[in-house]
């Protein structure tokens, strides 16, 4: 199964941790034409588990780099973002009950590409999705 992103930005509008690697920091800083230190000071925070950095969020929970309906760093967005929704679906779909997915990962069910996928899925109410 491969789901093609429709750039609806639903995934960018949910609070959570967008974890950054050193490569992400380097690429975003270069793309924004700022120093890595400036990027870290302005656009990141310590992760909840204190094991690295995550992007800060806008007051309502959206990604700091969401600009209207577009990603301001689209060409260099973090790996976690590039991997949505396919990596998430591969890890979760069919392994976690649908009710649990809807509760814990609401961004999946607000994603336009996932909605299209769900329309093509046969109904299997008794199975885990």
The contacts of residue 107 (CB under 8 Å, 6+ apart) are 10, 11, 13, 14, 16, 84
Summarize pLDDT for 34-73 with one digit per residue, the tens: 999 999 999 999 999 999 999 999 998 899 999 999 999 9
Rounded Cα distance between 35 and 92, Å, is 37
The DSSP secondary structure of 83-110, one letter per residue, reads TTTHHHHHHHTTTS-HHHHHHH-HHHHH
pLDDT at 127 over 50: no
Summarize pLDDT for 7-37 with one digit per residue, the tens: 888 889 887 889 999 999 999 999 999 999 9
Q: Which residues of 2-18 are buried (b: 16+ CB within 10 A; e: fewer)?
A: ebebeeebbbbbeeeeb
Tell me the torsion sign for CA atoms 89, 104, 5, 39.
negative
pLDDT of 123 reads: 57
The contacts of residue 85 (CB under 8 Å, 6+ apart) are 3, 5, 11, 108, 111, 113, 114
């Amino acid at each position: 199964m491969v789901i093609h992103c429709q750039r609806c930005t639903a995934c960018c509008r949910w609070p959570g941790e967008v974890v950054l690697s050193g490569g992400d920091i380097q690429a975003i800083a270069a793309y924004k034409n700022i120093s890595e230190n400036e990027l870290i000071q302005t656009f990141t925070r310590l992760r909840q588990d204190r094991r690295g950095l995550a992007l800060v969020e806008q007051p309502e929970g959206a990604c700091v780099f969401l600009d209207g309906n577009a990603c301001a760093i689209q060409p260099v967005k973090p790996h976690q973002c590039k991997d949505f929704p396919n990596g998430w679906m591969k890890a979760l779909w069919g392994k976690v009950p649908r009710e649990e997915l809807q509760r814990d990962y609401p961004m999946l069910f607000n994603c336009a590409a996932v909605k299209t996928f769900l329309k093509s899925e046969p109904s299997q109410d008794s199975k885990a999705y």
